[in-house]
């Protein structure tokens, strides 16, 4: 790749927010989370700790906001001044939304976070210098900074707990930003297996750790380019379009009965995670 | 691409230096060079090992008694992560957070690594030969009736061996104890349905009314129920089931209800009878004697007694009449009182009146091998043992799978009574509160390095034998499996019978193979049968069908009037059983400590839940440290104010407040078990967990609560983050 070639065909090399005329080619990883099925049980979060070598920081550091839960359950109340939370809570699994037009990417001074060809917002640990601009610019608070060198911190991975660490995932050192990767280590293996068999990854062939553990099956994950993928069918049925910042639900009355939405869409981040609204019965 | 600037010779030079550094730093210090360990080349490996590729082996989760099938990812001889076993009908490939943390129980740095014998205040490491010989000597020196074996719930081959050992000693004193088991419900079910644990079909119900059953969190088999719940919410035809939760303190299940009804503690039975009355008035056919028994329970009276509005009682009765079949579940909030059995019977009667028995409440099937059938624990067992210890009737005590010193209320004086037992043997993973009191501590293998079988108490259809197999080599040579220990003890007593078995594995294999016909392997040779069983992780059993009856009757059913106020101790204490902490046995697994409580989002500490009204009355704000005092003791903790609790009630989670066990558990929070009052269910004699009355006073300090929620405390501030809509607006059948 010569510089001339790079400059002349810059738009081919630069990963940008894809539009109708520049669709994703082979893969576009996306997720949908049904909030009516999510019970807020936290299994996804613990599974993520297990899969992705997340450090347990302890009470004091947790109090300082240093916790590392790549997927966390946010819990909201909608009491409207009533005496009791008598319609229960609203649970929302929050993770990196893998935005197509990610606010974190544009502010990184060293290009440590950028978009991959299959639509992931990647984080290159050994390029990261820890400016934390990305963290400040993320509207979802989905990025976590290593304020300490956890592998050498007492009681984070004491012998023999370090033997549980997943060798497929880097153990991050001090000064590095990290976040949900959609379990990119699993995606890489699945893509490699598929490539060696001369095909694309099939729907259901690869699961993220949070999806695999979820007791109610609230999380679907797959390739939005693949027309047979469940996640793509869900997005289509809910009329949520990856490349739009306003969906049918927001503009047409007939679409008001749809449940699909993306969080803070008005910021034009074009997230890759669609949520399905929680339901409540009106007869009781 | 690396260009010519870096040639092969240069590369080798660098590599040489790197290699020399490694060699220097490791010189003479490694166990390999000392000849203690060997390096095995991956060129010659076992068939199933490919370096860097994970292999999955099936086993059974031992984090709670639900018996979910797990699949351990093993790479280079280490187990890295657990997934659900898709072939297990209990969890169908799914798991919970508690189960995920099983690897942290295995790799826990605080595990005991060798047998310890008490000498004065210290534990001295001894060999297994010495330890087992000592047990033989001690049990030989006392009468068989003075030997007591305390365990948690047991099943499978370990249970069979344990019984054989007790028989060999000539003693039947086996106390099966579980601190938070639904034991009153079991007894009430036995009376009402003829079976202790009927099968609940949440997915067949159109309406579920759960009286404090946290089936999504910590009740019986939560992963199984969660899957049924998903189908209940989104049925194939698109009809969405309605969940109403009635309880005094919101559980995880309550947080997912369409309507959460805060009820005055202990009045659940009154509401159930009131609903029967309302249903009869609405034209549902109700037997005459039942109508007569409930006619006093008018909507107005029930509303006044329970604190549930007349509007909601009316709507609930209409919903139950309109949408059938429904399912009424009695959970721990119902059975936690001195009249717990009556409460549970009233709720069973409501199920019967609604015609749910046989539709959503079905019979389990019988278990073909009763010697391996699960023995469910209760709280009465510990009281019986405690009484016997107090009367000096116990000379040798074994404790396995229980931590009674931690879970017994202070009023039992269990720790003092334990001192009267001359020889106490504790089988343990950690130096927990009970192990600290022991004379001999025997370290157990972790569940991921041990052989066992388990028969889950709750399984949707039929019966099954779940197999637990080692997912890796033992971490420490000094630990042993419970099966191996029992076998060694049996060899002391019945050498002729057991000498043929080298270890528990050979016993288990031959025991399974000898009944392979009943385990579905009649046409297979022994090796094929065994290998298939191990690779599947579960063996289906053919059980005979059992009839379920509708025996609940209004005859003799008296539900007492609501509590009278107690001015000295004005509040009710609900000790909460959370999905990750439960009775505290897993408290030393740091993922669970750092996993926020779903409702309060608090981590690494205990808390006191309080309604804003109550807090205002007492002048308390969030973070105030308060003293919670009952007649049996007092503890201090931080207050969390929220609206998911009845104003007459405060709640504290169980499982915290360990004084021993390990670095992640010790000193975290306070132990709410300790201040429970000795009040018992009148019919079963079980400790009534929700009966304790308390007073709350400010202790002067205030802290910033360490929790995951932000300063807005669950308010979205007008942003559309988590969005909710009315189910009538949606057509679920159109969805993918």
pLDDT attached to residue B185: 93
Burial of B721 (0-12, 13-18, 19+ CB in 10 A): middle
pLDDT attached to residue B477: 95
Chain A interface, best mutation among B88, B97, B593, by max A CB count within 10 A = B97
pLDDT by residue (tens digit) across A220-233?
999 999 999 999 99
Quick one: B172 and B154 in the same domain? yes
Instruction: Using the 3D structure, point to which of B445, B478, B503 is the last residue of a domain.
Output: B503
pLDDT attached to residue B23: 42
Query: For the residues B322-337, what does the mean pLDDT come to?
Result: 94
Residue B542 lies inside a defined structural domain of this protein: no
Quick one: B193 and B315 in the same domain? yes
What share of chain B has pLDDT > 70, as a percent? 94
Say which of A215, A216, A281 has its CB closest to residue B258. Answer: A281
pLDDT attached to residue B43: 66
Residue A153 lies inside a defined structural domain of this protein: yes
Q: Which of B470, B551, B552, B560 is nearest to B508 (CA)?
A: B470
Q: Which of B255, B720, B104 is nearest to A247 (CA)?
A: B720
Say which of A59, A214, A282 has its CB closest to residue B603. Answer: A59
- Is pLDDT of B161 > 90? yes
Give the CATH number of the domain where residue A253 resides. 3.30.70.20
- What is this structure's pTM? 0.93
Query: For the residues A89-117, what does the mean pLDDT come to?
Result: 94
Chain B interface, best mutation among A40, A42, A156, A274, by max B CB count within 10 A = A42
pLDDT by residue (tens digit) across B688-715?
999 999 999 999 899 999 999 988 889 9
The residue with greater pLDDT, B27 or B356, is: B356
Q: Mind giving me the DSSP string for A70-111?
A: SSEEEEE---TT-SS-TT--EEEEE-----TT-HHHHH-TT-
Compute the distance between CA of residue B577 and CA of residue B595 in angstroms, rounded to an integer: 15
pLDDT attached to residue B6: 46
Tokens for B551, please give them.
Answer: 């025996």
DSSP SS3 for B130? helix
- CA distances from residue B525 to A21, B513, B515, B528 in whole angstroms, order as listed: 62, 9, 12, 5
Beta bridge partners of B391: none
Quick one: B339 and B375 in the same domain? no
Note the helical H segments in B337-481: 340-353, 380-390, 404-407, 414-418, 433-436
Domain of residue A96, residue span:
25-276
pLDDT attached to residue B41: 66
Chain A residues with CB-CB distance to B109 below 8 A: 155, 158-161
Residue A162 lies inside a defined structural domain of this protein: yes
Are the CB atoms for A91 and A35 separated by under 8 Å?
yes
- Is pLDDT of B163 > 90? yes
Chain B interface, best mutation among A75, A162, A171, by max B CB count within 10 A = A75
pLDDT attached to residue A33: 98
The residue with greater pLDDT, B40 or B730, is: B730
Say which of A85, A216, A280 has its CB closest to residue B644. Answer: A85
- Is pLDDT of A189 > 60? yes
Quick one: B486 and B402 in the same domain? yes
Quick one: B594 and B484 in the same domain? no
Compute the distance between CA of residue B227 and CA of residue B203 in angstroms, rounded to an integer: 9
Query: Is there a contact between B723 and A277 if contact means CB atoms under 8 Å apart?
Result: yes
Quick one: B233 and B353 in the same domain? yes
SS3 percent helix, strand, coil of chain A, rounded to 5, is: 30, 15, 55
Query: For the residues A147-175, what does the mean pLDDT come to?
Result: 95
Give the CATH number of the domain where residue B155 resides. 3.40.50.740
**pLDDT confidence tier of residue B30, bands split at 50, 70 and 90:** low
Domain of residue B414, residue span:
116-176+369-503
**pLDDT confidence tier of residue B44, bands split at 50, 70 and 90:** low
- Is pLDDT of B92 > 80? yes
Quick one: B356 and B386 in the same domain? no
Instruction: Using the 3D structure, point to which of B337, B362, B387 is the last residue of a domain.
Output: B362
Query: Is there a contact between B316 and A216 if contact means CB atoms under 8 Å apart?
Result: no
Query: Is there a contact between A216 and B230 if contact means CB atoms under 8 Å apart?
Result: yes
Quick one: B299 and B385 in the same domain? no
Quick one: B585 and B657 in the same domain? yes
Are the CB atoms for A35 and A276 separated by under 8 Å?
yes
Residue B52 lies inside a defined structural domain of this protein: no
Residue B41 lies inside a defined structural domain of this protein: no
Query: For the residues A249-261, what does the mean pLDDT come to?
Result: 91
Query: For the residues A167-184, what does the mean pLDDT come to?
Result: 96
- Is pLDDT of B656 > 90? yes
Q: Cα A225 from chain centroid?
A: 17
Residue B324 lies inside a defined structural domain of this protein: yes
- Is pLDDT of A110 > 80? yes
Query: For the residues A99-103, what does the mean pLDDT come to?
Result: 93
Chain B residues with CB-CB distance to A192 below 8 A: none
Query: For the residues B53-73, what does the mean pLDDT come to?
Result: 95
Query: Residue length, chain B?
Result: 736
**pLDDT confidence tier of residue B17, bands split at 50, 70 and 90:** very low
Query: Is there a contact between A215 and B728 if contact means CB atoms under 8 Å apart?
Result: no
Q: Mind giving me the DSSP string for A103-158?
A: HHHHH-TT--EEE-TTS-EEE-GGG-----HHHHH-TT--EEE--S-GGGSTTTS-
Residue A262 lies inside a defined structural domain of this protein: yes
Report the mean per-residue pLDDT for chain B: 92
**Structure-derived torsion over alpha carbons of residues B361, B363, B367, B372, reported in degrees to the nearest 10:** 30
Residue A257 lies inside a defined structural domain of this protein: yes
**pLDDT confidence tier of residue B40, bands split at 50, 70 and 90:** low
**pLDDT confidence tier of residue B5, bands split at 50, 70 and 90:** very low
Where is average pLDDT lowest: A79-83, A122-126, B93-97?
Answer: A79-83
Give the CATH number of the domain where residue B349 resides. 3.40.228.10
Q: Given the DSSP bridges, would you call strands B423-428 and B396-400 parallel, antiparallel or unpaired?
A: parallel
**Structure-derived torsion over alpha carbons of residues B235, B238, B239, B242, reported in degrees to the nearest 10:** 60
Chain B residues with CB-CB distance to A72 below 8 A: 596, 708
Phi and psi angles of residue B484, each rounded to the nearest 5 degrees, phi first: -65, -40
Quick one: B592 and B651 in the same domain? yes
Query: For the residues B440-459, what does the mean pLDDT come to?
Result: 95
pLDDT attached to residue B2: 39
- CA distances from residue A195 to A27, A188, A229 in whole angstroms, order as listed: 12, 10, 18
Domain count, chain B: 3
pLDDT by residue (tens digit) across B330-354?
998 899 999 999 999 999 999 999 9
- Is pLDDT of B420 > 70? yes
Instruction: Using the 3D structure, point to which of B362, B385, B406 is the last residue of a domain.
Output: B362
Query: Is there a contact between A256 and B261 if contact means CB atoms under 8 Å apart?
Result: no
Domain count, chain A: 1
Are the CB atoms for A235 and A32 separated by under 8 Å?
yes
Quick one: B240 and B296 in the same domain? yes
Residue A168 lies inside a defined structural domain of this protein: yes
pLDDT by residue (tens digit) across A12-39?
655 566 667 777 889 999 999 999 999 9
The minimum CA-CA distance between B99 and chain A, rounded to whole Å, is: 9
Chain A interface, best mutation among B50, B103, B233, B724, by max A CB count within 10 A = B724
Chain A residues with CB-CB distance to B598 below 8 A: 40-42, 73, 75, 89, 91
Quick one: B155 and B199 in the same domain? no
């Amino acid at each position: 790749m010569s510089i001339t070639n790079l400059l002349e065909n810059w738009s081919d090399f630069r990963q940008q927010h894809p539009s109708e005329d520049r669709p994703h080619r082979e893969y576009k990883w996306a997720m949908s989370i049904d909030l009516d099925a999510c019970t807020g049980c936290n299994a996804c979060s613990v599974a993520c700790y297990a899969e992705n070598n997340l450090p347990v920081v302890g009470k004091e550091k947790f109090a300082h906001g240093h916790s590392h839960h790549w997927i966390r359950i946010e819990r909201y109340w909608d009491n409207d001044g009533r005496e009791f939370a008598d319609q229960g809570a609203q649970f929302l699994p929050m993770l990196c939304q893998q935005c197509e037009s990610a606010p974190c990417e544009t502010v990184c001074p060293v290009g440590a976070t950028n978009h991959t060809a299959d639509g992931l917002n990647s984080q290159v640990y050994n390029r990261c210098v820890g400016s934390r601009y990305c963290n400040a610019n993320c509207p979802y608070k989905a990025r976590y900074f290593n304020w300490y060198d956890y592998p050498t911190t007492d009681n984070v991975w004491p012998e023999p707990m370090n033997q549980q660490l997943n060798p497929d995932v880097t153990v991050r050192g001090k000064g590095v930003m990290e976040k949900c990767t959609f379990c990119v280590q699993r995606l890489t293996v699945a893509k490699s297996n598929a490539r060696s068999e001369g095909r694309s990854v099939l729907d259901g062939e690869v699961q993220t750790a949070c999806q695999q553990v979820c007791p109610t099956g609230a999380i679907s994950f797959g390739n939005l380019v693949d027309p047979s993928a469940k996640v793509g069918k869900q997005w289509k049925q809910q009329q949520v379009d990856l490349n739009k910042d306003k969906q049918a639900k927001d503009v047409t009355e007939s679409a008001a009965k749809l449940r699909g939405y993306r969080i803070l869409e008005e910021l034009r981040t074009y997230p890759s995670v669609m949520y399905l609204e929680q339901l409540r019965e009106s007869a009781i | 691409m690396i260009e010519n600037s870096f040639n092969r010779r240069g590369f080798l030079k660098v590599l040489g230096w790197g290699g020399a550094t490694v060699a220097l730093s490791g010189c003479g210090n490694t166990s390999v060079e000392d000849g203690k360990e060997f390096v095995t080349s991956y060129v010659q490996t076992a068939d199933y090992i490919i370096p860097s590729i994970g292999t999955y082996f099936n086993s059974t989760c031992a984090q709670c008694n639900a018996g979910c099938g797990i699949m351990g990812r093993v790479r280079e001889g280490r187990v890295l992560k657990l997934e659900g076993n898709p072939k297990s009908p209990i969890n169908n490939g799914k798991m919970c957070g508690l189960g995920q943390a099983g690897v942290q129980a295995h790799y826990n740095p605080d595990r005991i690594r060798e047998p310890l014998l008490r000498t004065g205040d210290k534990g001295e490491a001894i060999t297994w030969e010495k330890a087992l010989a000592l047990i033989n000597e001690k049990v030989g020196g006392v009468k068989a009736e003075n030997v007591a074996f305390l365990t948690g719930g047991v099943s499978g081959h370990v249970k069979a061996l344990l019984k054989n050992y007790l028989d060999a000693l000539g003693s039947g004193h086996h106390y099966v104890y579980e601190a938070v088991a639904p034991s009153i419900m079991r007894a009430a079910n036995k009376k009402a349905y003829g079976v202790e644990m009927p099968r609940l079909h949440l997915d067949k119900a159109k309406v579920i009314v759960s009286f404090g059953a946290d089936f999504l969190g910590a009740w019986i088999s939560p992963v199984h129920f969660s899957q049924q719940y998903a189908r209940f919410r989104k049925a194939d035809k698109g009809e969405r089931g309605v969940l109403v939760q009635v309880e005094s303190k919101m559980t995880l299940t309550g947080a997912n209800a369409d309507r959460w009804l805060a009820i005055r503690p202990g009045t659940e039975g009154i509401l159930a009878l009131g609903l029967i009355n309302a249903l009869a008035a609405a034209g549902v056919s109700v037997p005459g004697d039942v109508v007569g028994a409930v006619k006093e329970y008018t909507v107005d009276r029930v509303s006044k007694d329970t604190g549930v509005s007349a509007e909601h009682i009316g709507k609930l009765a209409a919903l139950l009449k309109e949408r059938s079949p429904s399912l009424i579940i009695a959970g721990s909030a119902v059975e936690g009182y001195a009249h717990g059995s009556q409460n549970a019977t009233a709720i069973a009667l409501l199920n019967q009146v609604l015609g749910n028995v046989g539709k959503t409440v079905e019979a389990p099937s019988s278990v073909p091998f009763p010697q391996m059938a699960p023995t469910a624990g209760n709280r009465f067992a510990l009281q019986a043992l405690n009484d016997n210890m107090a009367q000096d009737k116990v000379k040798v005590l074994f404790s396995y799978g229980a931590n009674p010193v931690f879970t017994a209320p202070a009023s039992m004086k269990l720790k003092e009574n334990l001192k009267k037992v001359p020889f106490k043997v504790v089988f343990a993973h950690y130096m927990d509160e009970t192990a600290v009191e022991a004379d001999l501590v025997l370290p157990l293998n972790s569940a991921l390095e041990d052989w066992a079988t388990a028969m889950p108490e709750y399984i949707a259809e039929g019966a099954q034998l779940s197999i637990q197999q080692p997912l890796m080599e033992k971490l420490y040579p000094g630990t042993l499996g419970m099966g191996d220990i029992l076998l060694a003890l049996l060899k002391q007593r019945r050498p002729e019978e057991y000498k043929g078995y080298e270890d528990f594995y050979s016993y288990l294999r031959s025991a399974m193979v000898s009944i392979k016909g009943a385990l579905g392997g009649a046409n297979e040779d022994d090796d094929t049968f065994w290998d298939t069983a191990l690779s599947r992780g579960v063996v289906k059993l053919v059980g005979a069908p059992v009839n379920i009856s509708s025996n609940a009757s209004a005859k003799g059913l008296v539900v007492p009037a609501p509590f009278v106020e107690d001015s000295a101790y004005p509040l009710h204490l609900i000790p909460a059983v959370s999905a990750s902490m439960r009775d505290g046995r897993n408290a030393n697994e740091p993922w669970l400590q750092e996993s926020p409580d779903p409702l309060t989002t608090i981590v690494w500490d205990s808390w006191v839940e309080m309604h804003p009204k109550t807090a205002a009355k007492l002048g308390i704000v969030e973070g105030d440290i308060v003293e919670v005092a009952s007649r049996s003791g007092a503890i201090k903790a931080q207050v969390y104010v929220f609206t998911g609790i009845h104003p007459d009630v405060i709640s504290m989670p169980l499982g915290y407040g360990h004084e021993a066990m390990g670095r992640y558990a010790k000193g975290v929070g306070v132990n709410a078990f300790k201040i429970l009052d000795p009040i018992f269910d009148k019919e079963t004699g079980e400790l009534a967990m929700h009966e304790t009355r308390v007073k709350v006073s400010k202790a002067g300090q205030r802290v910033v609560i360490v929790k995951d929620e932000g300063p807005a405390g669950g308010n979205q501030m007008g942003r559309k983050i988590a969005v909710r809509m009315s189910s009538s607006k949606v057509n679920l059948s159109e969805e993918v």
